Structure formats: structure tokens, C-alpha cells
Amino acid sequence: MVSQAIKGADQPRAQWYWKSNSDPWSPNGNEEWTKYSDIESAIIEEVFNQKNKTKLAELDNYSINLNDSIQISKSDPNKQRQIKRVPTSRNESQGLREERFFLTPEMSKTFTDDWGKEAYIFLSQWKKDKELSDAEIVKQAANGIIIEGKKLGQRCESQYLARQIIAVKNKKKEEIYKCCIQLYTMECFLYKLINKALRETDKSKNTALPQLAKILKKPKTSAIACSLSTRPKTAA
């Protein structure tokens, strides 16, 4: 199965929304809709495209009943909201995410050759005595994402991310790199966790995250990232 994360540039996609009115069931007033995050939308879309008769997507805090187009709170099943799907294409800009791209300079780290001493130490500590194939690195990266996601209460998101990476573990290097870049740039816990671990050289993450950071650090990955960033952008 081809990873959802590495589909072609013109592959049709969709953005999912939940109805965010204070009273979502009131017939009065204008409807208000809020986007699900990148990864939540991708999880819902994955289930939407399956051929199962019953379509139920699991997010970390909500169950999504696609048959009835309803979001159900896991903490209180009586709290329900309508959802909707809006088709898009990859050429339609998703806009820049303020939290992702407008961090203060001292907190901003990119996967380039000027990563700095902190990132070098973080990766070199993990790399000691390790000679792994790309497939083994990918498998360890997927396991690390699941471990860290569970710690953060992001079980569903981490499992989705791990599935996407495992799906390309035996593919060509460029497909692996592209998948990792696209997962890293999704709005979810992953990029925050990796950036924080690199900034703080967090040794507690040394068994879980360096594999993915190692892939993102490769020169070819930087070149692919540049090519992906050339698509049109508009303000959020």
C-alpha cells in the first residue's frame, strides 16, 4: 500500500472541518466551521476512503462517525458536533502555520548543515556502534514515534505517523526522505518534539527520535524539502 503521505503533487485531497458554533445544533445564526489539524484531517480522510460499511475514525480526543457526519467526544459522548469534508488539491495552498514557522529565532532549528553542536551531539550519541540499513532506521523511527506519542497522549496520531513511515521502509531512499519531510511538516506533535529534543539535547529521547532526525539531516532530504517548498503559498 502506498503511503498517504507521499502521494503525487496533484493528488486530490480534502480538508475536514468541525462545526464550532457555541450551540452546534441551533438552526439560528451563521454556521462556524473550524479546520481539523493536518494529521487529524488525514486520519479522517484515510477512513473515509476505506470501503468498510461502517466508517469510524479514531482521534485522540474524539470518535468521528463518518456515516452520520458526527464528531463525538470521548470524555462525554453526549457532546457531539457536525463535521464536513471540503475537497482540495495539493496546489491549493494550506497557508503558513504561525506556530510552526514563526517561532522566535533562538528556538528555530532547521535540518541543515548549520544545525550546531547540540544536534551533532544528539545524533552522535545515538549513532555509536550502530550500523543500520535504511529499513532498520525507518522501523526504529516508527517505534520511537509511537513511544513518544503515547507519553504525550497522542496514541492515534503517533500510530498514523508510524504507519506512513513503515509503508515506505522498503522503498527508494528518496521516497523515504520525502515521506519523513511531509510528516515532519504536518501540524502535529512530531515537529515540536524533535525540535525540542534537538534544542535541549534531551538524552531521554535518545532511543526514540534520532532515527527520524538522522533521515531529516541527510543532504538529499534538504534538497527534496526545497523542491516541496516551491508550491504557491498564501497568507493563512
> What is d(CA 124, CA 206) in angstroms, rounded to the nearest whole number?
10
| d(C-alpha 183, C-alpha 72), whole Å | 26
Range of the domain at 144: 98-228
Q: Are 59 and 105 contained in the same domain?
A: no
Q: Is residue 133 part of a domain?
A: yes
CATH code, 54: 3.30.720
Residue 197 lies inside a defined structural domain of this protein: yes
Q: Looking at the domain assignment, is residue 129 inside a domain? A: yes
| CA–CA separation, 84 and 109 (whole Å) | 35
- Looking at the fold, whether 63 and 105 belong to one and the same domain comes out as no
Predicted confidence (pLDDT) per residue in 147-196, tens digit: 999 999 999 999 999 999 999 999 988 888 888 888 888 888 888 887 77
- Same-domain pairing of 61 and 138: no
231: helix, strand or coil: coil
pLDDT at 125: 57
Q: Say if pTM beats, i.e. exceeds, 0.85.
A: no
Same domain, 193 and 113: yes
Q: Mark whether 119 and 224 lie in a shared domain.
A: yes
Averaged over 77-85, what is the pLDDT? 97
Summarised one tens digit per residue, pLDDT across range 192-225 is 887 777 776 655 655 556 666 666 665 444 444 4
Q: Per the domain annotation, does 14 fall within a domain?
A: yes
